[in-house]
Amino acid sequence: TLIEAQWPVSYFPMPTVVFPNADVHANGDHDDCSLLQQAHWSQVDALSRLWVMDIGVPGSRCPPRLFVFDLIRNNAELLRIDCGQHIGANDTQSLVVQMGPKGPGCEQERHIYFIVGLVPEILAYDVLEQTWQRRPLQSHKFEHMNQSFPIKPVDFTFGLQGELILCDQDGDLYSTVDRL
């Protein structure tokens, strides 16, 4: 369940409110795919929209989805994005989600990135175009070899210049030269 808390709080326990309201949440009804089943990730973008990754419940028929709420307009639900064609229900155990950096000269984040399992690729959702794209992750760490090696990421972040920084299953770090 997503909760809303008021800050600063001068007393404990902190009062909480179900966000955006109780009617959006499944509350144990795992067959109603129109409701928020299990929030896995959330982030607020530059336009005060809350993005929530709902991964469903293991064994249910509800696909992973992105919910978008407008925090300025009374938490109104703006959008639901079905991710089921790109992220399998069984792939959500190791799912890593990050909102990409703001583009140069752009006021908002353009992409949301996903790592799904130990697949040597990153999945990108373009917020403006509402399209999906898979990008292979290959290492060219040996200059004297023409062969590249797949990177199987387990976590990632973005650097100050917008470059992608990855950690693979062996704990090795990789970085793109340019922004994605």
Residues 124-167: pLDDT tens digits? 999 889 999 999 888 876 666 667 788 888 888 888 888 888 88
Residue 7 or residue 108, greater confidence = 108
- Average per-residue pLDDT for the chain: 83
Apex 25 CA angle, 54 and 86, nearest 5: 20
Give the distance, in angstroms, between the CA of residue 137 and the centroid of all CA atoms in the same chain: 18
- 1 pLDDT more than 60: no
Q: How many residues in the chain? A: 180
Residue in 135, 113, 57, 48 with CA at minimum distance from that of residue 89: 57
The pairing of strands 131-136 and 173-179 is unpaired
- Report the distance separating Cα 158 and Cα 174, nearest Å: 11
Amino acid at 109: E
Buried b (16+ CB within 10 A) or exposed e, 94-133: ebbbbbbbeeeeeeebbbbbbbbbebebbbbbebeeeeee
Domain boundaries, the chain: 3-179
Q: What's residue 33's pLDDT? A: 86
| Long-range contacts from 25-29, C-beta under 8 angstroms, 24+ separation | 25/1, 26/57, 27/1
